[in-house]
Amino acid sequence: MYIIPAIDMIGGKCVRLTQGDYSQKKEYHDSPLEMAKRFEDAGIKRLHLVDLDGAKAKMPVNGDALKAITTNTSLKVDFGGGVQSDEAIKKVFELGASQVTGGSVAIKNPELFDSWVQQYGGEKIILGADAKDRKIAISGWQETTAVDLIDFIKSYLAKGLSYVICTDVAKDGLLQGPSIDLYKEMMQEIPGIRLIASGGVSSVKDLEELQNIGVYGTIVGKAYYEGRISLEELAAF
């Protein structure tokens, strides 16, 4: 199981929101690059970089931070937040991202999202499938759709995608444990999925549980920033 730390950015700084709420913002560090270097020094290989300004603006805003990280570290960066056009995805890959995560665009503009999978390949595009009560949530979780989570993922895996980041919105930022039952069901229902679990991780025990059910990776954010899990413990995975 890969440990994938998250750096969420607003105004070029590292922040965390609670349940996607911009009014519940907490700043943790002035420099995404310095934070990324800490992860790299601990032996971490991957990074989940989220442009929260971009998610609001519907176009990437913190491209400078992405370029700084991909230029000055060897981390494999997956980038999300506001990538909703051909121009935007091209730019993000030019800035050094290894993968791009698309969530809202996969619901609102499936033809465009499909074209990215064809153009860049299923290894470079990650489906962001965020769920609220098992229905897909989009636009920074401000909107909940009527689309069933598992049906949604199956439809894209049939088109050549394999990586899926799934956040249970109800768990995010609360440090109350991840949605183990939901992830178990997804692993059983969707053969071939490379599931990256996100949201709710609060302890090493949570990481061990996720590893036991066979997820491909786990995104860790608040638990690290709030001192619940140390860098050494993350590196041990």
The H or E element that residue 32 is part of is: helix 32-41
What's the confidence (pLDDT) of residue 142? 64
b/e code 113-138 from CB counts within 10 Å (16+ = b): bbebbeeeebebbbbbbbbbeeebbb
CA 10 – CA 25 distance, rounded (Å):
9
Residue pair 129/104 in contact by the 8 Å Cβ criterion: no
Comparing 216 with 175, which gets the higher pLDDT? 216
User: Does pLDDT of 55 surpass 80?
Assistant: yes
Percentage of the chain beyond pLDDT 70 is 97
For 130-188, the pLDDT digits (tens) are 888 888 987 666 667 889 999 999 999 999 999 999 988 877 667 789 999 999 999 99
What's the confidence (pLDDT) of residue 158? 93
- Which residues belong to the active site? 8, 130
Q: Residue 227: which region, alpha, beta or left (left: phi > 0; alpha: psi -120 to 50)? A: left
CA 134 – CA 158 distance, rounded (Å):
20
Burial of 223 (0-12, 13-18, 19+ CB in 10 A): buried
What's the confidence (pLDDT) of residue 145? 82
CATH number at residue 163: 3.20.20.70
What average pLDDT does the chain have?
Answer: 93
> Smallest Cα–Cα separation from 156: which of 107, 83, 96?
107
- Segment 26-49 shows an average pLDDT of 96
CA 185 – CA 201 distance, rounded (Å):
18
User: Does pLDDT of 10 surpass 80?
Assistant: yes
Number of compact structural domains in the chain:
1
With cut-offs at 50, 70 and 90, classify the pLDDT of residue 195: very high
What domain range includes position 174? 2-236
Strand, coil or helix: 70: helix
What's the confidence (pLDDT) of residue 168? 86
CA 217 – CA 228 distance, rounded (Å):
19
Residue pair 98/76 in contact by the 8 Å Cβ criterion: yes
> Smallest Cα–Cα separation from 55: which of 107, 95, 101, 23?
101
What's the confidence (pLDDT) of residue 209? 97
What's the confidence (pLDDT) of residue 184? 96
Q: Which of 17-26, 119-128, 180-189, 210-219 has the lowest mean pLDDT?
A: 17-26
